[in-house]
Amino acid sequence: MSLILRDLGVARGGRMVVSGLDFSLAPGEAALLRGPNGAGKSTLLRALAGLLPLAAGSATLMGADLAQEPDTVQEQLAYAGHLDAVKPQMTVAENLAFQARLFGAPDAGPALALFGLAALADRPAGACSAGQKRRIGLARLALAARPLWLLDEPTVSLDADAVADFAGMVRAHCAGGGMALVATHIDLGLSEARVLRLEPVSAAVRESADPFLGDAWEDGL
Ligand SMILES: Nc1ncnc2c1ncn2[C@@H]1O[C@H](COP(=O)(O)OP(=O)(O)OP(=O)(O)O)[C@@H](O)[C@H]1O
């Protein structure tokens, strides 16, 4: 019932960005994904969310292999990337009601109860501040009954109170048997969380690419 990564490798633009990664997360555990800019944190999260292919190794979630059964794995996780997944023309309540339908939740109540969003319920999301939009994006996690949360810099734009609320949300998720892998550069106050540190793949490995071809960049990612 865990997330298990074995000898995992992920490439970007034809270069290995994450390589030889072994890690596991058990129900009830949170891990902070740390490392310098460019170390591969977003890349790893996107790969685990099924948005990038694995170049090597394996990832299994609750017994399902990501490469063999991607749909089964994706149904067990919720991914929150750098974008807030908020529709600007809809109100805060409508956005969350939409997310509730998407995740099969009966209503948006549990999300509206978070981060002071009830007070913003009738405001068009497009008229919300950056931190308010981020709150909407995170609150939708409460509607997704998914055991694994993959969160990429979730606290960007949040004030100190909202960061504390977010830490409480992760703690409650884990207390209920959930798991969270959270890429962050800041101290979230989750002292019980484990740390998975990524380092940029060594220069020697990078320079093994054909020097005459230059860098290859993926589009639209
Ligand atoms: N679209 C892309 N095409 C090619 N290479 C990419 C692409 N996106 C990212 N990379 C490269 O992959 C490496 C890892 O990037 P990634 O975004 O995963 O790092 P990160 O650890 O999340 O960094 P940060 O802390 O800055 O968010 C970087 O060297 C980056 O240049």
pLDDT band at 82 (very low <50, low <70, confident <90, very high): confident
Q: Is the CB of 187 under 6 A from ligand 1?
A: no
CA distances from 3 to 10, 61, 114, 131 (A): 17, 4, 27, 30
Q: Is the CB of 212 under 6 A from ligand 1?
A: no
**What 8-state DSSP symbol labels residue 62?**
T
- ipTM exceeding cut-off 0.95 for this assembly: yes
Q: What is the distance in A from the centroid of ligand 1 to the CA of 67? A: 22
Q: What is the distance in A from the centroid of ligand 1 to the CA of 33? A: 14
Q: Are 198 and 33 in contact (CB under 8 A)?
A: yes
pLDDT band at 200 (very low <50, low <70, confident <90, very high): confident
How large is the average pLDDT for residues 122-127? 96
Domain segments of the chain as ranges: 3-76+146-206, 86-134
For residue 221, pLDDT over 50 is answered with: no
For residue 215, pLDDT over 80 is answered with: no
d(CA 201, CA 203): 7
Q: Is the CB of 19 under 6 A from ligand 1?
A: no
Residue 3: phi, psi to the nearest 5?
-95, 125
Structure tokens at 30: 């949170």
pLDDT band at 218 (very low <50, low <70, confident <90, very high): low
**Would you state the pLDDT for residue 1?**
65
- CATH of the domain spanning 3-76+146-206, picked from 3.90.180.10, 3.40.190.10, 3.40.50.300, 3.40.1190.20: 3.40.50.300
For residue 199, pLDDT over 50 is answered with: yes
**What 8-state DSSP symbol labels residue 154?**
T
Q: Is the CB of 13 under 6 A from ligand 1?
A: yes
Q: Is the CB of 38 under 6 A from ligand 1?
A: yes
**Would you state the pLDDT for residue 214?**
45
**Would you state the pLDDT for residue 201?**
80
**Is residue 40 within a helix (H) or strand (E), and if so which, with residue range?**
none
**Would you state the pLDDT for residue 203?**
45
Q: Which pLDDT tens digit goes with each residue over 134-192?
A: 999 999 999 989 999 999 999 999 999 999 999 999 999 999 999 999 999 998 989 99
CA distances from 197 to 70, 129, 132, 164 (A): 25, 32, 29, 23
Which residue shows structure tokens 């960005």? 17
d(CA 89, CA 103): 21
DSSP-derived secondary structure for 198-220:
--PPPHHHHTTS-TTT-----S-
For residue 61, pLDDT over 90 is answered with: yes
**Would you state the pLDDT for residue 213?**
42
Top mutation candidate among 15, 41, 152 for ligand 1, by most atoms within 8 Å of CB: 41
